[in-house]
A and B are shown apart, each in its own frame.
Chain A
Amino acid sequence: MTTTNHSTVAGGLASLQTHFEVQQFYYREAELLDDGRYADWLTLLADDLDYWMPTRTNRLRRQQALATAARGEAAFYDESKESLAWRIRRFDSGMAWAEDPPSRTRHLVTNVVARHVDPDDNAGFAADDLAVRSAFIVYRNRLEREENIFAGSRDDILRRSDEGFQVARRVILLDQNVLLSKNISTFF
């Protein structure tokens, strides 16, 4: 497999090969989350990670532009790699009762559109890095009969490193207003 043949037009669609690599990266990530291997999942995240999942509101149509909470407002996640590591240490404490016994989850990732980053719009990134939009459905079954479905979109910036991709930016939009579950005990 050659790695020098990327089409790297800023803002352009990724090549077939790159698209395949991105998909495989997401499937690997989903597998780690579904297997509860959060510490391993953490290694897929860049040290300068910005991981944000804002709340969403019902607004009058003329105020629709405000229907996603702004930075600094209420969010389900507003995390750095360090704060995610903190959350993950809790899961691994053996006393995180909300996940004991553990839930069963399935992360499905689809509708992947991968483009090369335009460095003019994204300081600190190169055209070799990728701006990827995807859609997800996360199914959770807890204890006997509890079920939740989390559906939404992710806007990522994946940075290429020697070890493969790392998630450097992730904006998660959950397609819900009132969160229709008793908690969020997984990641997206």
Chain B
Amino acid sequence: MRRNIDVSGLVDHEGGLLDRAVFTDHSIYAQEMRRVFAPSWLFLAHTDQFKKPGDFFATFMGEDPVLVTLTREKKLKAFLNSCRHRGARVCRADFGQTRNFTCSYHGWSYDLDGKLVSVPNEAGYPESFERDDWGLVEVPHIETYNGLIFGTWNPSPIPLRESLGDMAWYMDAMLDHDDDGTEVVGGIHKWVLDGNWKLAAEQFATDWYHVNMSHASALMVMSPTGKGPRDEIVHRTGRQYVDPNGHGAGFPVHTKNRFDAKTVHDHTDYTALRERLGDARVEGPLTNGHATVFPNFSYLPVNGSIRIWHPKGPDKMEVWAWTIVDKCWPDEVKQAQRLYNLRTFGPSGIFEQDDGENWSECQAIAAGFITNGVALNYQMGLGSEREDGRYPGTTSELYSDAAGRSFYARWRTLMNTPAWHEGDAR
């Protein structure tokens, strides 16, 4: 049964209040799958994962398993990873190289274009049976932006670049250091978290505030003295980009901002980057910072961490995190960035450990009847949103909930808008 809920009362983005039912309610979660995930551009993979025809990668769009393939014509395609016969996954490997995907249940076999190419005992089917009618269900739109592959089930989406808007300017600070772009370190960190996907997505959109407290231990061991960060670190100022489509990015602004990994810093030609990206980006989103592309793709430029928060029910998510590096970097610089990222972020990282603890903590108690009805505060920086003349679009202070408010405003709009697959039904 589909019962659509009017979520207007759950998100007060003007007053900065959020009802905790958005993290716990099963009906709301099911509606998110229909109205937030199905119509939106969702991150699939990095283009560097596809070098030769036959390279494939298995991931999820919302909770739907999909296969991304590079066809013989070197075209990226994506399909629902579910056999059209009885529905099993046609591929149970994480990634690899193949010519066909053969279902291990009855043997229906599909090629890299999703076409059904072989059916055991095909003579047993009626004459009306046409293999062409039974290919894998294709994701209708795939687009890339500077190495990032996105797909959407929306039959008539706004083009990806347009939906990113000014967010693309901020993303380029990580993805477009030179003409060669980025590549991925082999392998993906995957782990589970007992928390709603939005807890992580909103934090990466809007939350520098938690850094000094949540990550106090990490900041301490990373400080030159080992005793704690200097005041100028704690009292940093910066900007937070607030995108009307729910994206967000925050970053300290300082003329001496730099990469944390020493080898990466030493290698970096900041003068060349200033010429290519401009002073505002080098002094801001090039290095320290956080960002979310709505709904569930996030990244950390200083670590080269890109990640997706796969929803797995209202109270669970699965985190998939890649490390990206500049293709032109020498191997020792790439390795230094990889090691810096795995020691700070990723499930054993000295920062990430504490993030996981926070999200599972917020989730664990949110379902209590009284607790659930106690609104959460997103009021920091209320009214601070403005155009500052240096950073594109609307920005707020480094310490602000502005992008979080915008994230939930976008979520509210989508949740209250029937998607294409609903016809006119409400």
Task: Give the interface of A toward B (CB within 8 A).
Answer: 54-55, 57-60, 63, 66, 69-70, 72-79, 83, 86-87, 89-91, 93-99, 146, 177-185
Known: A70-B186, A73-B186. 14 other contacts (CB 8 A): A55-B187, A57-B93, A60-B93, A74-B323, A76-B189, A76-B342, A89-B220, A95-B217, A97-B357, A98-B356, A178-B192, A178-B318, A181-B191, A182-B347
Contact pattern, B 306-322, Cβ under 8 Å of A = 1, otherwise 0: 00000000000010001
Min CB distance B175 to A, Å, is: 20
Min CB distance A144 to B, Å, is: 9
Does B194 count as interface, using CB distance less than 8 angstroms? yes
Residues of B within 8 A of A83 (CB): 339, 343
- Known contacts: A86-B221, A178-B192. The answer to whether A73 contacts B185 by CB under 8 A is yes
Is the CB–CB distance between B92 and A95 below 8 Å? Answer: no
Residues of A within 8 A of B185 (CB): 72-74
Residues of B within 8 A of A177 (CB): 94, 190
Chain A residue nearest in CB terms to B352: A183
Is the CB–CB distance between B339 and A95 below 8 Å? Answer: no
> How many residues belonging to B are interface residues under a CB distance threshold of 8 Å?
44
List 14 contacting pairs A-B, 8 Å CB cutoff, sorted by A: A58-B93, A66-B96, A74-B185, A74-B342, A90-B350, A91-B217, A93-B220, A94-B217, A96-B353, A97-B357, A177-B190, A182-B191, A183-B352, A183-B356
Rank and list the top 6 A-B pairs by shortest CB-CB distance, nearest first.
Answer: A74-B187, A73-B186, A182-B356, A179-B191, A98-B353, A95-B216
Does B154 count as interface, using CB distance less than 8 angstroms? no
Task: Give the interface of B toward A (CB within 8 A).
Answer: 92-98, 185-194, 214, 216-218, 220-221, 226, 318, 322-323, 335, 338-339, 342-343, 346-348, 350, 352-354, 356-360
Q: Complex Cα distance A93/B356, Å?
A: 19
Is the CB–CB distance between B323 and A98 below 8 Å? Answer: no
- Known contacts: A93-B220, A182-B194. The answer to whether A86 contacts B189 by CB under 8 A is no
Residues of A within 8 A of B188 (CB): 55, 74
Residues of A within 8 A of B191 (CB): 178-183
B interface majority secondary structure? mixed
Is the CB–CB distance between A90 and B343 below 8 Å? Answer: no
Q: Complex Cα distance A142/B38, Å?
A: 36
Residues of A within 8 A of B338 (CB): 72, 78
Number of A-B contacts (CB under 8 A): 130
Min CB distance B299 to A, Å, is: 16
Min CB distance B23 to A, Å, is: 16
Is the CB–CB distance between B187 and A73 below 8 Å? Answer: yes
Residue of A58, A74, A96, A146 with highest tally of chain B CB at under 10 A: A74
Min CB distance B354 to A, Å, is: 5
Min CB distance B308 to A, Å, is: 13
Min CB distance A188 to B, Å, is: 10
Chain B residue nearest in CB terms to A61: B93
- Known contacts: A72-B335, A73-B185. The answer to whether A180 contacts B192 by CB under 8 A is yes
Q: Complex Cα distance A28/B339, Å?
A: 29
Min CB distance B236 to A, Å, is: 19
Is the CB–CB distance between B348 and A76 below 8 Å? Answer: yes
Min CB distance A1 to B, Å, is: 38
Chain B residue nearest in CB terms to A182: B356
Residues of B within 8 A of A54 (CB): 187
Is the CB–CB distance between A95 and B220 below 8 Å? Answer: yes
Min CB distance B129 to A, Å, is: 29
Residues of A within 8 A of B189 (CB): 55, 74, 76, 179
- Known contacts: A75-B342, A89-B221. The answer to whether A59 contacts B96 by CB under 8 A is yes
Q: Complex Cα distance A54/B338, Å?
A: 13
Q: Complex Cα distance A181/B352, Å?
A: 13
